[in-house]
Structures are given as C-alpha cells and as structure tokens.
Amino acid sequence: MPATLPAWPPALTPEQQAELLLEASAYALAHGFTLLPVHPPSGPPPAPTHAIAAPLSLFPTPFPRSEYERARSLQTAYNALYARVALDQEFIDRVIGSVAKVDTFQGELWTRWKGVRAELPQPVQLGIFRSDYLLHASESSFEIKQVEFNTIAASFGALSQKAGEMHRFLAQTTGAFYGAAPELADATAYPDNHSLEELAAGLAQGWKVYGNKDAVVLVVVQEGERNVFDQRGLQYELLSKHGVRSVRYTFAELGRLAQVDPSSKHLLIPNPLTPNAPPSEIAVVYYRAAYTPTDYTSSKEWDTRVLLERSLAIKCPTMALQLAGAKKVQQELALPGVLEDFLLGSSRPDVGLGAGAGSLTQEDVDAVRATWTGLWPMDDSEEGLEAQRLAETHPERFVLKPQREGGGNNIYRTDIPPYLAKLAAEPSNPGDPPKREGYILMELIEPPQGVHNWLVRGGEGKPRLADVVSELGVYGVSLFGGKDAKSIVNRSAGTLLRTKGRESDEGGVAIGISSIDSPLLVN
C-alpha cells in the first residue's frame, strides 16, 4: 500500500492535448464507447441513430496495485455473502421489515415478494454484482473501503472494458508524449479487464442452466435510456460468443405483452412485429431497470414485476436478491457476529465455495470486514442513538444514505442535521416509526489528495483539468439456489473505474459528473 501516488497527469503542450483528445474521441466513437445524446425534457427520447463519446479521461488514473488486487480477490467472498443473504428469508424479513414501515418503495418490494415467494417455481437465482470502493488515505498508506454493494442493474461492464482498451491504444499510438510519465511506459500497469465478456458469459451460464436452447434473454430497460450501447454491447456479446438471442422491453411494454403459461410457468413474450409467429420463451430476465421508484409509475408495473417473478425464467436479480442489496442490509452485516454467521455458519447453503462453507476461513471474514467503514442504524437502539448524536455534533464526518440505488440520493456532511430536522417535522400516522429509520449513517471515506486528470464530458470535446476522486467497482457473477452443482457459479468478472471532480459528492456518468476511466497500477 504506497503512501503516495505519482504526480498526475503528465504535462502536455496544447498541441499534444488536442491530438490526445482527437485520438480518444475517435476511438470511443469507433468502438461503441458511447452514450445517446441528452434529449430535451419535453421531447421524445432519442433513437440510437447517432451517438456521443461517453464521458472519459485522457489518461488512466493511478491506483495502488496491491489494493486493486485485494479488491478483486474479495469478490467471491462478497458474492457468497449476498447470495446467502438472498436465501435467508428470516433475515430479510427482520431487516427490511423495519425499513418497510418508513420506506414505501422497499415496503412495496418486500410485501410483493412475501406474497408470492411460497409459490415461485424457479429456485435458481442469478446475480450480476458490483462492489464499489474508494481509496481511503491514512497518514501512511491507502486502503480500499467499500462504498456499497450493487445487486441490481450493475452497469458499465461493456463500456469499462472499452475504456481500458482505449487507454492501451493511446499509449501505443501517442507514445511520444503519452509516455512522458514512466508509469505509463509499464505494460503491466494496464490491467487486463474483460468485464464485457465475463458478464455476458454470466448471462449465458444462466441461459444454459435454464435448459432450452431456443429460449432467449429478456433485458428489462428504462424508457429513454441513454446508456443503450453498454446494454447492447452485452447483447451482441451474448449472440456472437454464446449463440444466445436477447430481446429488450420496458415495463410498460411487458405489461401489454408478457404472459406466463399457467401450467408450465414459462414466461412468453410475443413479438408485436411478427404477430403470427410463436412467442419467445424467456430463459433469463436481466433487469437494467426496476431499481428506482420512478420505474413504477403505477400498480401496473408492480403487477408486471410480480408476473415475471412467478415465472420459470431465471431472474437477475430476484426480488429477494434486490432486497439483499439494500443499504440497511449493508449496515446490519457490519454488526458483531453477523458476517461471521453468513460466511462461516455450518448451516449456510453452498453457493460456489466448495462443500458447505468449508472453503472460507476467519481470515476471509476479517479481509471483508477490513473494507468497511463505520456504519450505524438511525433507529432508537443504543447504536442508533449514538448515530443521531454523531450526526448532530460531527456531521462533517458522515453521509446519510436512504435505501436507494442509482446515485443522487445521499445527504452529505453539514446538510445532515437540517435534513433530519425536516424528516422529523414531516407529518406521520400515530404509531409510525420516525422516518429517519429508513436511512443509515456511514462514515465518510477520505480519498487521496492531489490526484488530477483531464476529464472530457460526453459530447463536449473540451477537456478540463480536475482534482479527481476515483471509485473502483469489481464485478461478480453468482448463480445459486439450485440443487444441481452445475447451477452454481461464483467468480469475479472484471472491474470499472469511475472518476469525477472532487467538488462533487455524487457520481453519475450519464449526467456528466463522472467519467469512465481505467486504472494505471502503481507499486
């Protein structure tokens, strides 16, 4: 764990920077490292008839090699942890049941799942995960600390692989000035990253376990999605490398088209363009939507979600696995003994680590726990009361997190006390718990200071030099829950680096705050 990172980025003349920008932008457009352009709120969503380069960095960003490898090595233990959480109905009921009283979205998801879980015909679950980390800087070293664990719609696997390939290309073609820093001349500093291939292979493994070579993968997408090329990259890889066809539909479209055969429980979707052809049987439902309340504009979308859940198709994720990714679960796992029970408990099911839990040790548990920063509930327990005291007296040390995915939902530092006061002032029904119980308090991670890079906002073609913070995501694939050993998969599946200006607490590639980057490994 190095105590310092190299001075960054290398100096460029204006002519060198213009050449580097030209090469990066051309490479991005030529290789599908792209997004749809922003569309006006009043206009229709753009069709994929033209594109802009995705937000990118002109240089890869230095990252400690030891911490990069440590993050990757932990992924199978994290996969096992969240697979076992998803299989533990009693734990989910206890943890989410408390949140459900004050969080209507989590409450609806949990209630709907409880209503159908006894009759679900498909025991196999597929997880495409991403564990996100920031580097935490202490006086003498850097170490990874986990931000969150994503169990639904873990995006940018395709674009992440392309970002690393772009930086390798730039090093090869602009070497006269791109090699101005010795770190850039080290071929081993550019890690192999096959996230596109690995994630597509995970979907193909789910399709294979389903067992019908004529079935297809369903990608559930949001209306007006700009990140279509990342999604379609996986679809193209599925077809070209695995011979697996896929279809794309929104919730609204599925509400009109999706059918479940009452006897076989097959999920069937007719193609409205070929009404006389047999409907497609779905092997895997892959959600790139359904993680935010805005995806459920009415009860119809919830009914559609339940319809898909009750089918024989393998879900990625199931409603249970989506619930397992809640921030409240992250906080509960940090309590003494809970992590140990999930990873070392003798009664826990095999999820790809050998017979039972025999291949995990206390050393593995300690390694996972070492990636966590302070986590507290916001209830009336002893820990919760301490959290409230800390949030009021030292808010600059913390972030307040709701049970949401997708970014843009957290409350930071000195905004926390007035926000808690606002929650307390909101009307509630007699007997309801305080609304703060829908949140957790997390100790802030302090990234290294003084790292800069040239960031290019998508479509602008104008780099800006920023003091940056980089977040490393490690993908994982987990197939579990079946009785057949062939239906068990647990592996790491590549990485993602997102880099943003330090001035922004929140991320977001599509909205232009973060750039898709790649790590330059330094010793």
Instruction: Summarize the confidence of residues 461-479 as an average pLDDT.
Output: 95
- On whether both 402 and 420 belong to a single domain, the answer is yes
Taking the alpha carbons at both ends of the chain, their separation in whole angstroms is: 8
Cβ-based neighbour number of residue 302 at 10 Å: 18
Question: What pLDDT band is residue 511 in, cutting at 50, 70 and 90?
Answer: very low
* pLDDT above 60 for 46: yes
> Residue 33: what residue type?
F
Q: Is 425 exposed, middle or buried (0-12, 13-18, 19+ CB in 10 A)?
A: exposed
Q: Is 290 annotated as a binding residue?
A: yes
Domain count, the chain: 2
Of 374, 406, 501, 512, which residue is the catalytic one?
Answer: 406
Q: Is 488 annotated as a binding residue?
A: no
Active site residue 401: yes
Question: What pLDDT band is residue 483 in, cutting at 50, 70 and 90?
Answer: confident
Pairing of strands 514-517, 489-501: antiparallel
In angstroms, the CA 408 to CA 419 distance is: 15
Tell me what pLDDT residue 275 has. Answer: 86
Of 79, 150, 492, 518, which residue is the catalytic one?
Answer: 150
Query: What CATH code is carried by the domain that includes residue 437?
Result: 3.30.1490.50
* pLDDT above 80 for 509: no
In-domain check, residue 452: yes
Q: Is 258 annotated as a binding residue?
A: no
Active site residue 130: yes
Of 327, 328, 435, 457, which residue is the catalytic one?
Answer: 327
Single residue among 444, 475, 496 that ends a domain in this structure = 444
Tell me what pLDDT residue 2 has. Answer: 53
Single residue among 395, 420, 444 that ends a domain in this structure = 444
- DSSP, collapsed to helix, strand or coil, labels residue 385 as helix
Question: How many CA within 13 A on the CB side of residue 266?
Answer: 14
Of 498, 507, 515, 518, which residue is the catalytic one?
Answer: 498
> Residue 317: what residue type?
P
- On whether both 288 and 420 belong to a single domain, the answer is no
In-domain check, residue 480: yes
Percent of the chain at pLDDT above 90? 82
- On whether both 168 and 300 belong to a single domain, the answer is yes
Dump pLDDT digits (tens) for 61-76: 999 999 999 999 999 9
Q: Is 236 annotated as a binding residue?
A: no
* pLDDT above 50 for 355: no
> 257 near 270, Cβ under 8 Å?
yes
- On whether both 256 and 122 belong to a single domain, the answer is yes
Q: Is 404 annotated as a binding residue?
A: yes
Active site residue 406: yes
Structure tokens at 76: 């199978």
Q: Is 143 annotated as a binding residue?
A: no
Dump pLDDT digits (tens) for 320-352: 999 999 999 999 999 999 999 999 998 999 998
Rounded to the nearest integer, the mean pLDDT of the chain is 93
Tell me what pLDDT residue 8 has. Answer: 94
In-domain check, residue 326: yes
In-domain check, residue 1: no
Tell me what pLDDT residue 507 has. Answer: 55
* pLDDT above 50 for 93: yes
Of 309, 332, 405, 437, which residue is the catalytic one?
Answer: 405
Which range among 132-136, 147-151, 169-173 shows the weakest confidence by mean pLDDT? 169-173
* pLDDT above 60 for 356: no
- On whether both 459 and 407 belong to a single domain, the answer is no
Q: Please indicate whether residue 128 or residue 355 has the higher confidence score (pLDDT).
A: 128
Tell me what pLDDT residue 478 has. Answer: 97
Tell me what pLDDT residue 334 has. Answer: 96
Q: Is 485 annotated as a binding residue?
A: no
> Which of the 8 DSSP states describes residue 266?
-
Active site residue 15: no
Single residue among 383, 414, 444 that ends a domain in this structure = 444
Q: Spell out the residues 6+ positions from residue 126 whose beta carbon is closer than 8 angstroms to its own.
A: 202, 203, 205, 206, 284, 314, 315, 316, 317, 477, 478, 479
- On whether both 401 and 503 belong to a single domain, the answer is no
- On whether both 420 and 469 belong to a single domain, the answer is no
Instruction: Summarize the confidence of residues 496-514 as an average pLDDT.
Output: 74
In-domain check, residue 5: no
Among candidates 42, 6, 1, which has minimal Cα distance to 453? 6
Beta bridge partners of 466: 453
Tell me what pLDDT residue 354 has. Answer: 47
Q: What values do phi and psi take at 276, rounded to 5?
A: -90, -5
Residue with tokens 């959600």: 287
Instruction: Summarize the confidence of residues 261-277 as an average pLDDT.
Output: 94
* pLDDT above 50 for 510: no
In-domain check, residue 397: yes
Tell me which residue range forms the domain holding 439. 374-444
Tell me what pLDDT residue 327 has. Answer: 96
- On whether both 345 and 282 belong to a single domain, the answer is yes
- DSSP, collapsed to helix, strand or coil, labels residue 378 as coil
In angstroms, the CA 193 to CA 159 distance is: 11
Which range among 177-181, 260-264, 460-464 shows the weakest confidence by mean pLDDT? 177-181
Tell me what pLDDT residue 513 has. Answer: 75
In-domain check, residue 171: yes
Q: Is 453 annotated as a binding residue?
A: no
- On whether both 192 and 233 belong to a single domain, the answer is yes
Q: Is 231 annotated as a binding residue?
A: yes
Q: Spell out the residues 6+ positions from residue 491 whose beta carbon is closer than 8 angstroms to its own.
A: 75, 76, 79, 198, 352, 476, 477
In-domain check, residue 9: no
- On whether both 114 and 143 belong to a single domain, the answer is yes
Q: Spell out the residues 6+ positions from residue 442 whose beta carbon is closer than 8 angstroms to its own.
A: 331, 373, 374, 375, 376, 398, 399, 400, 401
Instruction: Summarize the confidence of residues 497-502 as an average pLDDT.
Output: 94
How long a stretch of residues is the chain?
523
Tell me what pLDDT residue 420 has. Answer: 96
Averaging pLDDT over each range in 9-23, 254-268, 406-420, 499-513, which range is the top one?
254-268
Q: How far is CA 52 from CA 38, 70, 156, 463, in A?
A: 9, 34, 16, 15
- On whether both 336 and 391 belong to a single domain, the answer is no
Q: Is 130 annotated as a binding residue?
A: yes
- On whether both 384 and 358 belong to a single domain, the answer is no
Q: Is 227 annotated as a binding residue?
A: yes
Which range among 98-102, 132-136, 390-394, 457-461 shows the weakest confidence by mean pLDDT? 457-461
Active site residue 150: yes
Dump pLDDT digits (tens) for 99-123: 999 999 999 999 999 999 999 999 9
Q: Is 401 annotated as a binding residue?
A: yes
Tell me what pLDDT residue 353 has. Answer: 73
Tell me what pLDDT residue 157 has. Answer: 97
Of 57, 98, 148, 237, which residue is the catalytic one?
Answer: 148
Q: Is 471 annotated as a binding residue?
A: yes
